[in-house]
Amino acid sequence: MKERINRIGEEVKKELARIIGELKDPRIPMMTSVLRAEVTTDMKYCKAYVSILADEDGQNQALVALKSAEGFIRRELAQAIEIRYIPEITFVLDKSIEHGTHIDSILRGLKKEEE
């Protein structure tokens, strides 16, 4: 069962990335990525972790835009994936890429100090 949920999560992630890439809302930057999608075991809910390359205000605006487009996104998802229930999607901002970039810049600074 867990394996099936993981496969569905991966399929949802792939389709969400495609759908979000096709949205024409100017509040959603082109550099918006779906990093992972966690579907509950009953397949009624999904947390989609997104990375948005923008300043904090731009990220908040993009999350608002994604929330307002949720109905459209679910409809598109229903056409792309054949499962009994299309989960209710909650978009969560994932800052792991920003955090990794910050750590990388710190490490580069330390390396320059050594030299």
Lowest mean pLDDT among 6-10, 49-53, 104-108: 104-108
Average pLDDT over residues 22-43: 92
Model confidence at 107, pLDDT cuts 50, 70, 90, reads confident
Q: Does residue 50 contact residue 30 with C-beta atoms inside 8 Å?
A: no
Q: Does residue 40 contact residue 94 with C-beta atoms inside 8 Å?
A: no
How large a percentage of the chain has pLDDT more than 70?
A: 100
Residue with the two structure tokens 């320059």: 112
This prediction has a pTM of: 0.82
65-85 pLDDT, tens digit per residue, is 999 999 999 999 999 998 888
Topology given in CATH for the domain delimited by 2-114: GMP Synthetase; Chain A, domain 3 (3.30.300)
pLDDT at position 23, please?
93
Mean pLDDT of the chain: 90
Is residue 104 predicted with pLDDT exceeding 90? no
Q: Is residue 52 within a helix (H) or strand (E), and if so which, with residue range?
A: strand 45-52
Among 7, 17, 94, smallest CA distance to 49 is for 94
